[in-house]
A and B are shown apart, each in its own frame.
Chain A
Amino acid sequence: MAALLRSSRLLKCSPLGLLQISGTKRTGPPLRLLFSGPLGARGTGVCSRHISPVSGNASSRVWPYTVGCVRNYAVATEQKDEPSIAERPNQAQEFDFALARLDSSVRRTGRITKVQLNRIFQDICKKAAYPSGNQALLLLRSCGSLMPEVPLEQRTELAHQVWEKLQELGTVYDVSHYNALLKVYLQNEFKFTPTDFLAKMEAANVQPNRVTYQRLIAAYCQNGDIDGASTILGYMKSNDLPITEAVFNSLVTGHAQAGDIESAKKILTVMEGAGIEPGPDTYVALLNAYAEKGDLDNLKKTMEAAESAMCSLVDRDLMPVIITLAKAGHQEHIPHMLERFSHERAYVPDAMNLCLSLTTQGLEDTAFYILKNFPSLQNNPSLQSKDTIIEPHLGHFLLRHCVNIDMSPEKICRFCKELQESKLNTEPVIFTLNVALETQKTALSLALMKMLKELDLPIRPHFFWPLLSPHVKDRNQAGVVEVLKSMHDLKIEPDSETLTHYVYPAFTDVEAAREALKDAGMSLESEGIFAAQVRSLALNNLAELHTMLSDPSCPVTDLSVFRGSLIVGFKKFSDVESMVKIIELLSKDPRFSREGKEMHNTSAFFLYHFIDHMSEKEVHANKDKLRKFFNQLKDQKISVTPNIYRGIRRLLDSYQASELVKDVGALVNHGLESDALPGSGPEYAPEKKIGSRVYALEKKLAKRKSENQPLGFMLKQAIQSHAAEDNLVRALELKQEYEDEMLLPAYATLIGLCCRLNNVEEALNLKRELTRKDSSVTLDGNKYISLVNSLAKKDRIEEAVDLLKEMKEREVVLTDKNNTQLFHMLFSLANNGAASTVERLQDSIFTLGLAKPTTLLLSPLITAYIKNEDLSGALEAASRCLKLYNHMVPVHGIMVAMVEKGDADLLQKAMEFASNERGEMAMMFDLFFAFLQTGRYREARRIIETPGLRARTTRISWFAAKCINSNQIEPLEQMVGMTEKLFECDRDEMYSYLLKHYEVTNEWQKAVALWTKMQEENLIPRDGTLLLLAKILKNNGQEVPFDVSKMWYQEEAPPAEVKREAPTPKIEAPTPKIEAPTPKIEAPKPKVEEGPSSKDPSLQSPIIALCKKNRAQEALTMFKEAKDSPFNAKSFNLLICVLLSEGSIKDAMAVKDIATSRIPEFQMSHAANDLYIITTTLKGQANDALERMKQADHMPSKLALTRLVQALGNSGNVSGIQEVEELIKGKVVNLATMPVVTRTAIAHIKSGDLEGATEVLEAFYTNPDCESQPQGMPYVFNMILEDNNEEALDKLSAMAERLANQFARYRPVSDLFLELLDADKVEDAKFMLARNNAVAEQTDTLVAYLFRKSRIPGQLGKIETLLSLIPDFAEKDVVNKHVMRCHINDKDFSSAKALYEEWQKSGGEIDTVSLKRLAVMYRMFGETVPFNEPRESIRFFELKEKAQKKEKAQKEAET
């Protein structure tokens, strides 16, 4: 497939990066797939290179060699600015994450594995375009002694790789990096030329610092080159660089290496002279020198000297000495050194690393000696937990390492033996074997198995599977035989599983395999071989299988041994005859039934499983064969029990293949007595019953006929009964017999039957007959399609097309169901590879307009081509579909087939096509899915990692759904892993796809692992996802390690918080579970009770949905049904609101009561309260509303208050209003804007207390502020006038006039005057005006009236009346403007035109708004505008006017 990708390079329309990536090699280990980097924010933590303060403290004990140099880095770089870090916070976070990963490893074990380092290396390379200096430093530093398992040379090599790669990626190295590299060189004892190194630094323009020189000295000294060291030392001195202890330590080593141990010893004195105290490292340097010589005495002396110098040497300090001793071949002294060990707390991890180092360097015997002298657990109670006895498992780490470095099997076996005999480890062999098998080391595995045999431990066939599986994968037959031979040598016979899964697949067929086994001298008689053969035959050759099984010599074999394979073999439908024979055999031969099981049950169960294992698609594709199969079974008198029948029927129904049910029904208890039918009802159709029923019917028919009664209906019934039995012959006979009585339905049934039995001729005959009889009747779509289908199957396409045309002529309407039928027809034809037939039919269907072209209906064509393996045809067909019907059929299937075939050229064409039609992005996804589907994950990964690619949610979810439906979990898992860095990819959703699958398969461990991965990705899962995870865990009786008590629909739930605090999953702590098995058993109990509650979220949400659609009653009904469902307060309120706005106060209150009973602290929300007040007020229950308001602890909305006060006023409830007033006084609501006064007055009036009303109003009007609220009063007058309340009118007008006369408050009179006008009481108004002349001067009020009236159509009369009463209260222009507006409102064009002319003549200034309005009108009436129309919109002028008014008012206020 790599070639395939390369070919895509030539693609012109090639997507962004596909071209470039094909060349690069990507070697991310599979583990990386679901690994991830940080996406979200993390605490800043350690993100600079000044690691020492943070990690140094925590891990100094296990980061022994780096602490020192880290300090030095800090010295070296502290002064440096690092702007790059500030600029790239993301990188800093990534670095932090990588560090955390390495750090945790170092913390736990004191080492880093090569895999870990590689992983982070790849990660950093991929993620950061420019890996930061920190990352580089981290990687380089890890390439030293932190990897005791890696040989020294390899470590240096790795360091160089990192160095070069990062440089390539653009990392800028500073002195710290060079120093780090030097340290690695030293740790790895890498031989290099210090001067070259310096030259390299100079070339890179990097200034060496003190640390550089120190290390270079160390490098010289490691080789005993004192001269070289001296040169540098001299240079340091001349540059005034301080000579530190480290330099002296190096010199000790240097002299020793040069063979001058005396000089080495003297250095200590020199140090003292220079005022530097020898430190542990100094003594260790000296110790190493003696160790090399094997000078035990001086070793001891030096150690004592160190002690007396108060320089304590800890275990870790002494460990290098052991290495030196071992390397120099002085193993005999090691026990003396070990005696010195104090076994301090950190001893074990350090010693483990020592052992690993020794082993890596080929000193495994020393390593083992140290291992055996590990402080034993028995002697160290602190290492034992209280009540569990730890099985001794000493040395697993070392054994694993030995296997990994390919140590000789003999040696490993020897170690195992020693460990076993010394009882330090109970099962070293089994453990080592496991590792050997995991790493597929055949020789070692076999050696270990021999040991097992000697130890009398069982060896099982599946032990060999890991050894066989790679051979099977590579189809390496010799390899397989080799392993089988060794099995034979160990006297292990391969069982059937071994053969079926790990042997036979390597061979072309079973015979070849048997031949090979025979050649290898193996027995072919074993039970396993027999079973494997049965299975293989079941898969490939049913006829032979039958022959073999029916042979009397065939041993007793339970069906379960080969059932799975048999099902797969059956599903091929290649040999229906043999299938029937095998079923027959199963039902009659006791050898294949488990003891105590009825034989016919065995076969019936098998039938059920068979159908169960077929997919809907398979059933439809093989419908005919299935029918044939069932019919032949019936002929062979194979029977199934009603139970099984019901099961199969359910399956078939679920596959939408109910037409097959009959055929199965015919098998029910065939040949058994009818009394063996328990509970036989009409739901299934035992043949006998039908038979007797038909018989009775026919008898009745004959009788009726003889009586000359109409028998059409009964005839139809009889025919249908026969049809149900597929008894065409008898049905036709009946038709013949009662020819005249045949009705359309009877014909239709017959035609349907003929089609089902593939008897097209008869069907067509019947149809012709029907037409002859009554040309007006038309068959329905169903029958037509059946006919078309039958014809098409027989390749009678022209006739089929004619029928389709006839359908069109007869205007047969196709339902959705018919459409599905069409699809199934096309699909089954396609499955037979009849591409041209499919295309012809499609053409006709679409051009005739019988069905609209859809992707679904078009897709069978592609299937047909793929079935024929004509991929270029498929591609062309897709292109035709697009051209003809403008529908893009999914190219997925085509691409999958192409990839499977490995046809690069065609794939390229397909890519071009998809890319041209749907864009590159869509094409990339097509390709991606095709690679995923075909298991070419590497290629898929390359595609999806194309730069610039974005997530396409719909396509991804399509593929996910496809995977879930077809149970292809691996592609799905791969996809989830690969899309990690896909731009805009909804990670949460990706994970939820997998979770959904795990829910189905109940794989809670995987689900938990997924959760961990999500954390790793720093992903914050949605509530729904967590809920699903919790469900999976709960279903499996697992503890849910996070908080999901909040339901997902409570939006307020802060999911992020919950997750962060959540502890890691509990699976790692199995002990409490083992200890408490009893609660485990009880655990499922509450689960059952929880049944309904798990349903609840789904019940609450539809109720909410109904509420939101304002379907209150439906919501209520559902609410009542879902009695105990846990509604939250919010939902309660929502329901209450909806009910209230519908006016159902009672229901709402009932819901509220329920809410209060469930949630004691339940409070109606503000909105609900307001709604309650409004609704009750509207219903005239103002008092209830008032009560509610009093109870509620919040201020109702202004609207609610207004309504309430209005209602109270209307009902004359003065005290109520006062109460309200009391309640709202001093609260946020501005009392003045409330209609309280007016309403109080109205209330007084309503209650007949005119005095009170007058008092209120008088007080109101005499208040100097009253002018600001002009609204209230007119309303009162208006109401009195409307009510014709003469008495009140008298009183109030008297009051108004009094106010005018006594207090010069003209507002009431003006208001009253205008209200009178408005109520058409012109006479009264006239009198009013006469009595109060001042009214004519109330220009503002009058103009306001003009303004109000001119806005409402049909109010011109009122204005005219006013003008006739008070002609000149305003300027002409103002009046004209409003009159004009009236005309325009009334759409009185002629008057408007007249006014315009008059206005013009009068020489008045016509304002722009009026002009604009008029212009609009001119245009509306289709006349040209005779003046310059203002450009701005009316709205503009209105706003302008408003602004002007405001300005004016402001000015007035200022003056």
Chain B
Amino acid sequence: MAAPSKKVFEVFVTKIPWTLAGKEMREYFAQFGPVKKCLLPFHKETGFHKGFCWVGFTTEEGLNNALQKDPHTLEGAKLLVQKNIRPFQGPRLSKDAEYD
């Protein structure tokens, strides 16, 4: 349930190299704890992602583990991982929602 009172444990990741997609992000962050959601928006026009991503953990522990690790290096690139301050309220996509 997406009740606003419910705690979310999300990190906001930036500086993601173009070679990574949602799957890789999910897999990488799974090492810190079970990942509930991972949203890496893509530009439909260009086919490239936008360079940032939200990763939601199921538990606070996962979140903390992810935040404690530094640096986050993935395929030679340093990811910038920070706590997502406000839970992402993604735009309601009218055409097709992307969930994974």
Contacts and interface: CB of A to CB of B under 8 A. Distances in A.
A342 B44 CA distance: 49
A1000 B12 CA distance: 16
Interface string A1066-1104: 000010011001001101100100000000000000000
B96 A564 contact: yes
Chain B's interface: helix, strand, loop or mixed, by majority?
Answer: loop
A501 B44 contact: yes
A563 B88 contact: no
A1070 B15 contact: yes
B47 A469 contact: yes
Contact of B47 (A467, A561, A1070): A467
A465 B67 contact: no
Contacts of B94: 967
B42 A462 contact: yes
B59 interface: no
A568 B95 contact: yes
Interface in A1359-1389: none
Contacts of A427: 76
Contacts of B67: 1077, 1080-1081
A613 B91 CA distance: 10
A1005 interface: yes
Main secondary structure of the interface of A (DSSP, over half): helix
Contacts, number: 121
Contacts of A1005: 14, 52
A671 to B, nearest CB: 21
Chain B interface size band reads 35 or more
A483 B71 CA distance: 37
A567 B97 contact: yes
A974 interface: no
A1000 B92 CA distance: 12
Contacts of B92: 613, 615, 967
Q: Of A568, A609, A1002, which is in contact with the most chain B CB atoms at under 10 Å from its CB?
A: A1002
Contact of B70 (A426, A497, A615, A1077): A1077
A588 B54 CA distance: 31
B80 A1070 contact: yes
A1001 B20 CA distance: 23
B21 interface: yes
A1080 B68 CA distance: 10
B21 to A, nearest CB: 4
A1037 B97 contact: no
Interface-centre pick from B68, B78, B94 (highest chain A CB count, 10 A): B94
A500 B49 CA distance: 16
A560 B38 CA distance: 12
Contacts of B71: 1074
Contacts of B83: 1037, 1080-1081, 1083-1084
B93 to A, nearest CB: 7
A437 B47 contact: yes
B97 A564 contact: yes
A466 B48 contact: yes
A608 B6 CA distance: 15
Interface string A1031-1073: 0000111000000000000000000000000000000001001
A465 B42 contact: yes
Nearest to A647: B1
A462 B14 CA distance: 18
A644 B89 CA distance: 19
A563 B80 contact: no
A1124 B76 CA distance: 50
A605 interface: yes
Contact of A568 (B14, B45, B78, B97): B97
A1087 B1 contact: no
Given A1070-B80, A1084-B83, A462 B47 contact: yes
A519 interface: no
Contacts of A500: 96
Contacts of B68: 1077
A1036 B85 contact: yes
B1 A643 contact: yes
A438 B3 CA distance: 40
Contacts of B97: 563-565, 567-568, 613
Interface string A423-465: 0001100100010011000000000000000000010111111
A466 B47 contact: yes
B44 A608 contact: no
A967 to B, nearest CB: 4
B89 A465 contact: no
B96 A612 contact: no
Which 9 A-B residue pairs are closest in the complex by CB-CB distance?
Answer: A564-B97, A465-B47, A466-B47, A469-B47, A462-B21, A967-B91, A1077-B70, A564-B99, A1035-B85
22 contacts: A430-B19, A437-B47, A438-B46, A460-B23, A462-B47, A465-B42, A535-B96, A564-B97, A564-B98, A605-B1, A608-B2, A613-B92, A615-B92, A643-B1, A644-B1, A967-B91, A967-B92, A1002-B85, A1002-B86, A1070-B80, A1074-B70, A1077-B82
Given A539-B96, A647-B2, A1000-B89, 20 more contacts: A427-B76, A461-B21, A466-B47, A501-B96, A535-B96, A564-B93, A564-B99, A567-B97, A568-B96, A608-B1, A612-B2, A615-B92, A643-B1, A647-B3, A967-B92, A1002-B84, A1037-B83, A1074-B70, A1077-B67, A1081-B83
